[in-house]
A and B are shown apart, each in its own frame.
Chain A
Amino acid sequence: MNRLLQYLFQFVSQLWRRLLSLLRRRRHEREMEEEMRFHVEMQIEQNLASGMAAEEAHYAARRQFGNQTWLKETSRDMWGFRSLETLAQDVRYSLRIMVRNPGFTAVVVLTLMLGIGVCTAVFSMVHAVMLKPLPYRDSDRLCVLWKSVPKKGLERDWTSYPAFKDWKEQNHAFEDMALFLRPEGAKVTLHNGDQAEKIQAAVVSANFFTVMGIAPVIGRTFSPEEGNGEDLAILSYGFWQNRFGGSPDVLGKSLSFNDDSNNRTAKIIGVMPESCKFPDKEARFWLLTTADSRWERGFQIYRVADAFSVVGRLKPHVSITEAQADMNVVASNQARSYPEYSADLGISVIPLEIYLTGVNLRRALWLLLGAVTLVLLISCSNVASLFLARGFARQSEYAIRAALGAGRMALLRQLGAEAVTIFLIAGALGAAMAAIIIKVLRAMAPANIPRLEDAGISLEVLLFALALSVITAITFGMAPAWKILKYDPQEFLKRGGWTDAGPGRRRIRELLVSLECALLVILLVTTGLLLRSFLKLQDVNLGFRPDHLLSIVIDLPYERYGTGDQTLLFYREAIERIEVLPGVESASVGRVFIGDHLPNYNVLVEGDAGSRQESVALAGDTVSDNYLQTMGIPLLRGNNFSEQDPPGAAIINEMMGQRLWPGEDPIGRRFGRNLPGLNISLDTIVIGVAGNIRRNGRESDALPTYYTSARRQLVYRYDRKMVVRTTADPATLVAPIRDVIRSMDRTIPKYEVTTVEDELYHLDAQRRFQLQTLSSFSLIALILAAVGIYSVLSYSVEQRTREIGLKMALGAQPRDVVRSVLAQGMKPVLAGLGIGLIGALASSRMMKSLLYQVPVTDPTTFAVIVAVLVMVAFLAAYVPARRAARVDPIIALRWE
């Protein structure tokens, strides 16, 4: 082993000395000259001393010294200068050739720039979002754990602290687990003078940062033993910069806020780096669970207080599957120990990276990367055929060089240098272009793509661009190399040249065209299918009328709205004032979107066969009497809310009726939901059935839902939502409604007014972004392929001018020439089309999950794509075909 190290050390130091000597080339040469001169002088002296005459002394010395040039060459070789010089020579020659053929160089560089540029841009995105490791220690060991209800297909539900304690104590797969509060429950009100602002915070257990494994920028994080009621806060980097100007004396200062029941003052003990964005990237600071007002009252005690999620660090060498199996055991233990709470419940273990990006986003990004690779391949094919054509044109040059003694290796090296030089230049320009493209992509992208803001030209991205340039250079730029290796220069010189129209040579170019068309078809079909999905989505019935609708979210502060009555009064007045505004048709309390998270309730149901308990994912909402009209939801059966309602009146939606009272008429039936701390009872009676609405935008489903009347009581005062239907353009009502609310109470920390169509637009954002990028790539690819078809065909026509002239002299009509050239041009296109369609069928199957109600073999899409491609190819081929028909046979026959 020692010997090996010794050798390694020697090798490295030798390499280092070589490098140094390469850099000090000129000095070495000078010193060598001087050393030789000195040697000769000494020799002369010696000769003189031994008795020779002066002239003879000189002569003898020189002669003995031998051939200085040879000596210098050998020495230079020793230092390794020769290969460097040859390389420099090759590169200089390549540059000269590039300058002398500006047209060729421009086309090649532009084409490649495009291909490498988009590839680099998308890679930068993929790298920032998926490939770059998270800032936590050994982040692949981190998992998020959810409660799950496998029977209902509910994968992610919140859990409670007592349940979490069991998970932590009974598992064998995790080193440690930490708790974090669901973001909706972790919002606090900050006071800025007389202005109140509702912001997002994060509430975590004391061992949270130890589990995550990330160090603070200044100060310290919570230590696991913390939590004796001390109120501490750790700031996020952004908050530290904005609120405290980034000054280090923030440590020890107090942070005052209101966590919805109490005023609190937390001591600031540290600041996290910018990259720490867990559990919520909007969180301005982290607080302790034990310091929360709801901790002692409820969170710590009740097993049903489901408000938390868990992050765990796997033990080394434990896999996700093993961890999942282990937690399944824990879950079944829990079900046995607490049947009334935990029966039918499971635990989901999800790796942190997948949790943050989501499976759909990952698939979409890989799709994007695949699409952009297709674009690159198409542009490289174009460049390859250009290189082939030029390689042919320079045959005389190669022949002469070969005749003068250049070996195959020398020619290959020259070709390699040319290819790599031009590809590297294109690559550098492509990277520059990528920087711009990334900016555009980031502006276009929806806000919820994690870490997209990190996408930029980083070192990894530059290395990627470099590697891409070199690999494509060798694969495509050395295309004429095969020819070089095969042919015999003597043959060429003897015959005095030939045309590039022989069937062998043509086949390669046609192959390239076919390849391009096949790749293009795959790309276009992918884009087409996604486009159809998107359009189908836009037509989907939401269950309510989203036009002319506004959604309002209000958080009322505790001080003045502590009771349900006060809240009710506020909303009554708000509705009155808003309905008076010009352009408003009606206003109501109630939600438009129910949100992603599916709640899980135990429901007591009175049916034909008596009462029974059911576990249902149910949504409940307290609404005003005119909610259904305002939303535009049809009332299918029974009555709307009115003054004559019995206590506990509710309107259910059709889905809930079918779920809980299948085959029966639900009107008049009773049911009850379990609430924390209360006994479940049949306290609600159904008075009407309304239509289903999609709970969270066009791609989501409906949920069993019931509505209760807001006339009697409004319990929750935060995150209360209102809907307003307008006759005028809803965007014009945003400011007036904000004014109304502000005029009612200036201290309300949060109220947002948005049009429902805007919200739907944002829900579609990811899909739209994907579609926009894919469409751009498809367009680029289409143009590149058209250019490719055109250039290959016109080159072929040029080479076959003689043949065409002959045909015309023998009587062929221009019409026939056009037809034959078109046929020749379209043949590879159609062949590529066929192969591409097969490929497209395969690739569309892979992206099935991204499609919406569009079959994988959608005939419309395929037909349209084929038609577009054939049309474009036809146009691209028509121009050279026409040119061929205009060939003057006499000139053609004379042309050599």
Chain B
Amino acid sequence: MTKVDILQGTLDMLVLKTLSNDPMHGFAIALRIRQLTDEVIQIGEGSLYPALYRMELKGWIKAEWGVTENNRRAKYYKLTRTGRKQLEGEVASYSRLTDAIAKVLQTA
């Protein structure tokens, strides 16, 4: 359960992927990622919210105020069509990158 530092681009990709099914608010996104990675990747608020605002400006996600199960007001983020395309692109290049790195690591 060591925390790992991740790059900004990778962070964006993870957030986009998390949003690919349902809209979520910021807390839920961070929670989901922690759960999925068994607490390896813990995204601090200092990284999460700036990233969300940045992606909103870029037009990859859209924000809407909604209501949680406990009737609280929260800002939900949703993936846009541009964002979905961006996600596909990022996933593809990330896979290419990891395959390439894996090839290097396999030798020697």
Task: Give chain A residues whose Cβ lies under 8 Å from the Cβ of B59.
Answer: 10, 13-14, 17
- Say which residue of A34, A43, A74, A79 sits within 8 Å of B27 (CB atoms): A43
Chain A nearest Cβ from B20, distance in angstroms: 20
Q: Is the CB of A35 within 8 A of B50?
A: no
Bound together, the chains give a CA A78 to CA B51 distance in angstroms of 9
* Interface hits, A65-116 → B, CB 8 Å: 65-67, 70-71, 74-75, 78-79
A38 touches B (CB below 8 Å): yes
A74 to B25, CA, bound (A): 20
Task: Determine the distance from Cα of A861 to Cα of B79 in the docked complex, in whole angstroms.
Answer: 79
Closest to B25 in A: A38
**Cα distance, A73 to B27, chains bound together (Å):** 20
Given A34-B73, A38-B72, A65-B45, are A75 and B25 also a contact pair (CB < 8 Å)?
Answer: no
Q: A35-B75, A38-B27, A38-B74 are in contact. Are A71 and B46 (CB under 8 A)?
A: yes
Among residues 11 to 29 in chain B, which have CB atoms less than 8 Å away from a CB atom of chain A? Answer: 25-27
Whether B54 sits at the interface, judged by CB under 8 Å, is: yes
Q: How far is the CB of B105 from chain A (nearest CB, A)?
A: 33
B72: chain A residues within 8 A (beta carbon): 38, 41
Q: Which B residues are closer than 8 A to A by beta carbons?
A: 25-27, 31, 44-46, 49-50, 53-54, 56-59, 65, 72-75, 82
Residue of B nearest to A18 (CB): B57
User: Across the two chains, which residue of chain A brings its CB closest to B45?
Assistant: A65
Give the residues in chain A near B46, CB-CB below 8 Å. 66-67, 70-71, 74
B residues less than 8 Å from A36 (CB atoms): 45, 49
| Residues of the B chain whose Cβ atoms lie less than 8 Å from the Cβ of A71 | 45-46, 49-50
Name the one of B25, B27, B31, B75 contacting A31, with C-beta atoms under 8 angstroms.
Answer: B75
For the complex formed, measure the closest distance between the CB of A263 and the CB atoms of chain B, giving whole angstroms: 74
**Chain A interface residues toward B at CB < 8 A:** 10, 13-14, 17-18, 21, 31-32, 34-36, 38-39, 41-43, 46, 64-67, 70-71, 74-75, 78-79
Q: Check if B54 sits within 8 Å of A78, measured CB to CB.
A: yes
Counting chain B CB atoms within 10 Å of each CB, the highest count among A38, A43, A75 belongs to A38
- Cβ of A39 and Cβ of B50 under 8 Å apart? no
Closest chain A residue, CB of each to CB of B30: A39
Q: Which residues of A contact B57 (CB under 8 A)?
A: 14, 17-18, 21, 78-79
* A35 to B26 Cα, complex, angstroms: 8
A-B contact pairs, 24 of them (CB 8 A): A10-B58, A17-B56, A17-B57, A21-B57, A34-B75, A35-B74, A36-B45, A38-B27, A38-B72, A38-B74, A39-B27, A41-B72, A43-B27, A46-B31, A64-B44, A64-B45, A65-B45, A66-B46, A67-B46, A71-B45, A71-B46, A74-B46, A75-B50, A75-B53
Is the Cβ of A14 less than 8 Å from the Cβ of B75?
no
Given A13-B59, A35-B49, A78-B54: A66 and B27 interface contact (C-beta under 8 Å): no
Question: Are A75 and B49 in contact, with the CB atoms below 8 A?
Answer: yes
Other CB < 8 Å A-B pairs besides A35-B75, A38-B75, A39-B45, 7 of them? A10-B59, A43-B27, A71-B45, A74-B46, A75-B53, A79-B53, A79-B57
Hey, which chain B residues are within 8 Å of A74, CB to CB? 46, 50
Please give, as numbers and ranges, the residues of chain B lying within 8 Å of A41 by CB-CB distance: 72
Chain A residues whose C-beta falls within 8 Å of the C-beta of B58 in the assembled complex: 10, 14
Whole-angstrom distance between the Cβ of B56 and the nearest chain A Cβ: 8
Name the A residues within 8 Å of B25 (CB-CB): 35, 38
Assembly CA distance A42 to B48 (angstroms) = 15
B82 vs chain A, min Cβ distance (A)? 8
Least CB separation from A20: chain B residue = B57
Residue among A18, A35, A71 with the most chain B CB within 10 A? A35
What separation, in Å, do the CA atoms of A550 and B50 have in the docked complex? 88
A79 and B49 CA atoms in complex are apart in Å by: 12
B59: nearest residue on chain A (CB-CB)?
A: A13
Partner of A42 from B27, B50, B65, B82 at Cβ < 8 Å = B27
Closest to A74 in B: B50
Report the bound CA distance from A43 to B82 in whole Å. Answer: 31
**What separation, in Å, do the CA atoms of A74 and B49 have in the docked complex?**
10
Q: Within 8 Å CB of B54, what residues of A?
A: 78
CA distance A867 to B74 in the complex (A): 82
Per the bound structure, the CA–CA distance linking A64 and B44 in Å amounts to 8
Q: Which chain A positions have C-beta within 8 A of B74?
A: 35, 38
B79 → chain A, closest Cβ, in Å? 16
Query: What CA separation (Å) do A66 and B50 show in the bound complex?
Result: 13
Query: Could you say which of B26, B44, B82 contacts A66, with CB atoms under 8 Å apart?
Result: B44
| Cα separation A65 to B27 with both chains bound (whole Å) | 11
Q: Which residue of B lies closest to A41 (CB)?
A: B72
User: Which chain A positions have C-beta within 8 A of B26?
Assistant: 35, 39
Nearest neighbor of A15 in chain B, beta-carbon distance:
B57
Cβ-defined contact, A78 with B50, below 8 A: yes
Complex Cα distance, B73 from A892, in Å, reads 74
Task: Please measure, in the bound complex, the distance between the C-alpha atom of A21 and the C-alpha atom of B53, giving whole angstroms.
Answer: 11
| Nearest CB of B to A283, in Å | 58
B53 proximity list for chain A (CB < 8 A): 75, 78-79
- Alpha-carbon distance A314/B72, docked complex (angstroms): 74
| Chain B residues whose CB sits within 8 angstroms of the CB of A17 once the complex forms | 56-57, 59
Q: How far is the CB of B89 from chain A (nearest CB, A)?
A: 12
Bound Cα distance A462, B44 (Å): 52
Q: Which residues of B contact A39 (CB under 8 A)?
A: 26-27, 45
A75 to B53, CA, bound (A): 7
Residue on A nearest B70 in the bound complex, by CB: A45
Question: Which chain B residues lie closer than 8 Å to A64 at the CB level?
Answer: 44-45
Residue of B nearest to A10 (CB): B59
Most-contacted residue by chain A among B26, B57, B74 (CB, 10 A): B57
Cα-based distance from A66 to B48 in the complex (angstroms): 12
User: Which 8 A-B pairs have CB atoms at the shortest separation, nearest pair first?
Assistant: A42-B27, A78-B53, A39-B27, A66-B46, A35-B75, A74-B50, A38-B74, A17-B57
A35–B66 Cα distance when bound, in Å, is 12
A14 and B60 CA atoms in complex are apart in Å by 10
B32 to chain A, nearest CB (A): 13
CA distance A31 to B73 in the complex (A): 11
Greatest chain B CB density within 10 A among A13, A43, A78 is at A78
Cβ contacts under 8 Å, B73 to chain A: 34, 38
Q: Distance (Å) between the CB of B11 and the closest chain A CB?
A: 14
Shortest CB distance B43–A (Å): 12
Q: For A75, what are the chain B residues with a Cβ–Cβ distance below 8 Å?
A: 49-50, 53
Distance in Å: Cβ of B19 to nearest Cβ of chain A: 16
Nearest CB in chain B: distance from A73 CB, A: 10
A767 to B40, CA, bound (A): 88
Give the distance in Å from the alpha carbon of A17 to the alpha carbon of B25 in the complex: 21
How far is it, in angstroms, between the C-alpha of A17 and the C-alpha of B57 when the chains are bound? 6
Complex CA–CA separation, A292 to B74 (angstroms): 83
By a CB distance below 8 angstroms, the chain B residues around A70 are: 46
Bound: A41/B49 CA distance, A: 16
Name the residue of chain A whose CB is nearest to the CB of B58: A14
Distance of A79 Cα from B26 Cα, bound (Å): 18
CA distance A14 to B49 in the complex (A): 18
Residue ID in chain B nearest A38 by CB atoms: B74
- Whole-angstrom distance between the Cβ of B35 and the nearest chain A Cβ: 12
Q: Which residues of A contact B49 (CB under 8 A)?
A: 32, 35-36, 71, 75
**Chain B residue at smallest Cβ distance from A46:** B31
**A62 smallest CB distance to B (angstroms):** 11
A79 vs B55: C-alpha distance in the bound complex, in angstroms? Answer: 11
A808 to B74, CA, bound (A): 81
Q: How far is the CB of A37 from chain B (nearest CB, A)?
A: 10
Q: How far is the CA of A64 from the CA of B30 in the complex (A)?
A: 13
Within the complex, what minimum Cβ distance (angstroms) separates B55 from chain A?
10
Q: How far is the CA of A35 from the CA of B65 in the complex (A)?
A: 10
The distance from the CB of B77 to the nearest CB of chain A, in whole angstroms, is 10
Best-surrounded residue of B26, B27, B54, B75 (most CB of chain A within 10 A): B27
A38–B73 alpha-carbon span in the complex (Å): 8
B103 CB to nearest A CB, Å: 29
Q: In the complex, what distance in Å separates the CA atom of A18 from the CA atom of B57?
A: 7
Distance of A14 Cα from B25 Cα, bound (Å): 23
Expressed in whole angstroms, the Cα–Cα distance for A75 and B49 within the complex equals 8
B1 to chain A, nearest CB (A): 15
Interface centre among B46, B54, B73 (most CB of A within 10 A): B46
Bound Cα distance A36, B53 (Å): 13
